[in-house]
Every structure is written in C-alpha cells, then in structure tokens.
Amino acid sequence: MHSINLIAKALRANCDKDEDFRGWTGETTIGVCAITGIEGPCLPRKDLLGPSFVSIGLLACPSNNFVSVDAYETMKYKWERMSSFFCDGERFVRLDRQGVRNMVLSEDMPASWIGYATTSYKKHGCLATKVNTGNKRYWTFEQRLVNLTDFEKTKMWWEMLNIYIRRGISRPVMESLVCPPYVIKIIGLSTWIEFEKWARSKHLSALYSFLCYLLPSQAELKEEKK
C-alpha cells in the first residue's frame, strides 16, 4: 500500500465531517497510477499534475498519463501539504510539534500508519512518507526519511538530548555543534566536552536532526521550571 491509499481511505471515512475534502466526481478508467504504480480507477494525469509539478523523481511510473482517484483526493486535500500529520487509514490527524513528539514517543502504534513532520508546509507529504507495518517506525521530516525502528536507541538519544538542553545547551548549538565561548562559560567546559563527544558521531544523521526539532521550546522549559 502507498501512503496515498492510506490517506484517501481515512479521508473518505470522515468526509462528511471535513469541508476541505474534495472527492472526484468525474468519469474514471482502469489504469496504472503514475504516482503509486497501483492499478485501479484513474483519471487523466493533467487533472492533478500540472506543468509546475517538479517532484517527478518521487513517482512510481512517471511516464504514465493517469493518476488514481486516491491520488487526486489525497493531493487535493490541503492539509496533506500544509500540515504535519499522522494517518492510520481510519483517521488523518493534523499535528503541531508537541503532537508529533507525542506520536513519535508513543509505545503502541496501529497495524499500518504514516507520519510526516514539516516546518515549511509546501511539499506533498504523501509522496515522501513510508507506510509502516509490524515494528517499523519511519517518519518523514522535511522530505528526509527518518528511521526510528530501533526504539530503544531513539529513546536513549531523546533522553540524552533532553538532559543537555536542560543544562543550557540550546537547540541551535546542538544542531551545529558550534558553541560560543560565553555559552561554554555558563554551562561549564566539562559539560560541553561531554556533550560534544557524545553528539559528534550523530549530529549529521536524520534521527538526530529530527529529535532536535522535537525538543521542548524555551517557553516549555520555562513553564517546566515553574
């Protein structure tokens, strides 16, 4: 199953409650979808993908002239492109950063699901996400596929990042591993050396970048201290 099919299923199940859902009402023909590569009811490709569409490399069958009804209904749904989201085929849930964090750290997940996190709100999340089954845990963060299947490692990295952000190392410093002298003076040289040694081999990875994004904001940290 493609992410598009999972989202379309959820949207149709809740279409009577969602004014942003646009179902296809025109004629269809059986064909192979250029986007998913799956055979089924289709419509002309030009009705969905115009000349401004540039993500050709993400299509399963880029030379095909048809797109599925599922693809049309999913990609015409604005929140698939303009939000972070979670979908399990029964519900499509728009998420803020805290919502993404809660889902990422959740122990129990459905049989099939996708997760997408973005800060740009410009790309089609359905084209970059991967359907998770079994114990697989993949999220897409800004078109970058993040593997969180080793959940114990994910939790360990998360705990370490949380320890050091509370010791005064900010998210931008964690991401760059460039620490201004005045910050080192505040947190202590030994703290910085410990963190830099732990993070050096990790900070360019998709998992590290994603977990840094999920860290609590300064406002959350201030509220926590209260």
Which pLDDT tens digit goes with each residue over 143-196?
A: 899 999 999 999 999 999 999 999 999 999 999 999 999 999 999 999 999 999
φ, ψ dihedrals at 109, nearest 5°: -125, 155
Domain ranges, residue 195: 151-225
Give domain status of residue 166, yes or no: yes
CA angle 130, 136, 140 (to 5 degrees): 35
pLDDT tens-place string over residues 66-124: 999 999 999 999 999 999 999 999 999 999 999 999 999 999 999 999 999 999 888 99
Judge whether 10 lies within some domain: no
At a CB cut-off of 8 Å and minimum separation 6, what does 4 contact? 35, 36, 68, 70, 71, 74, 75, 126
Q: Is residue 2 part of a domain?
A: no
Residues pairing with 139 in the sheet: 146
The answer to whether residues 221 and 155 belong to one domain is: yes
111 and 138 part of one domain = yes
- The answer to whether residue 3 is domain-embedded is no
* pTM score, whole prediction: 0.93
Q: Which long-range contacts link 54-60 to residues 24+ away (Cβ below 8 Å)?
A: 55/123, 55/124, 55/127, 58/127, 58/128, 59/34, 59/35, 60/2, 60/33, 60/34, 60/35, 60/36
